[in-house]
Structure 1
Amino acid sequence: MTPALWHRLLLAGHLGTLAVLVAWYGWLSPSPQLPTALVLLVLGVPLLLPLRGLLHGRRYTAAWSLFLAIAYCAHALVELYSSPDDRLYAGIELVTTLTWFVAGIGYIRATRDEL
């Protein structure tokens, strides 16, 4: 696969994770115990940090953003196990984070000769 395709998949996984979390906690199933704005800030702001570097195709940003992907993957797994009502949303989050992670590794490997 070409680096451009890996990059598109990486962005799709990253932006998909952001979209799923905003939709899940903003509209589809907001938390009754916590303010929606607080939940969206805590879950959404970390995803905005690497966005500029990912949009520009920077390898280093793609590499360190995978640590975030692992954290969001863990979040999805915990929600899959502990929240029967939200399993669909957690499953979608798991798919998007795994896409982000695998595509990130593919992108880093495909662009390693460009240093």
Structure 2
Amino acid sequence: METSKVYHIGAATSLAILIAWLLAWEMVVAPLKPGGSLLALKVIPLLLPLRGVLKRDVYTLQWSSMLILLFFAEGIVRGYSDRDAISRMMGWGEVALVCVYFTCALLYLRPYKKAAKKIARELLDKVNRATHE
């Protein structure tokens, strides 16, 4: 299987699992209030990039790799500070899923960034040659 396809599948899968993970955490596994809490609404920002990630949109993968870091921070805080052991475990699971997404997204985007830098370098060279003539 092509490497970029593996990275895309990894990013899309980890994002979908993260959404399900967070919903399960706040609604069933360890909700703050019995029956679920409004904290489940935190998955809404993750739903915004889902379509673009599934379609391999480079721009969406770029900005979502920054958005996902908010969930990394939340997972770290809750992994260390929640009193309930199950909730702490869910926090560390969130951190792991975020790390998978972030890594896969960056590795998927790497060739695009290299190509963009090469094009920018070539354009700069053309401009420099034109101004020196």
Q: Which runs of 4+ in 1 moved over 2 A?
A: 110-115
User: How far apart, in 2, do the equivalents of 1:23 and 1:110 lie?
Assistant: 35
Structure-1-length-normalised TM-score: 0.88
Structure-2-length-normalised TM-score: 0.77
- Secondary structure of the residue aligned to 2:20 is helix
Q: Is 1:24–2:25 an aligned residue pair? A: yes
Name 1:40's counterpart in structure 2.
40
Report the number of matched residues. 112
User: How far apart, in 1, do the equivalents of 2:98 and 2:71 lie?
Assistant: 7
State whether residues 22 and 40 of structure 1, in contact with CA within 8 Å, keep that contact through their aligned partners in structure 2: yes
Describe the superposition over 1:53-81 as per-residue Cα deviations: whole angstroms up to 9, x where unpaired: 11100111001001121000000000011
Q: Is 1:91–2:84 an aligned residue pair? A: no
Whichever residue aligns with residue 14 of structure 1, its letter is: L
Structure number with higher relative contact order (C-alpha < 8 Å, ≥ 6 residues apart): 1
Q: In the TM superposition, what is the alpha-carbon distance from 1:111 to its structure 2 partner?
A: 4.2
User: How far apart, in 2, do the equivalents of 1:44 and 1:58 lie?
Assistant: 20
User: How far apart, in 2, do the equivalents of 1:110 and 1:13 lie?
Assistant: 21
Q: In the TM superposition, what is the alpha-carbon distance from 1:110 to its structure 2 partner?
A: 3.6
- Secondary structure of the residue aligned to 2:31 is coil
Query: 1:1-115, aligned counterparts within 5 Å?
Result: 2-32=3-33, 36=37, 38-41=38-41, 43-85=42-84, 86-112=87-113, 113=115
User: How far apart, in 1, do the equivalents of 2:110 and 2:17 lie?
Assistant: 22
User: How far apart, in 1, do the equivalents of 2:53 and 2:26 lie?
Assistant: 24
User: How far apart, in 2, do the equivalents of 1:68 and 1:53 lie?
Assistant: 14
RMSD: 2.0
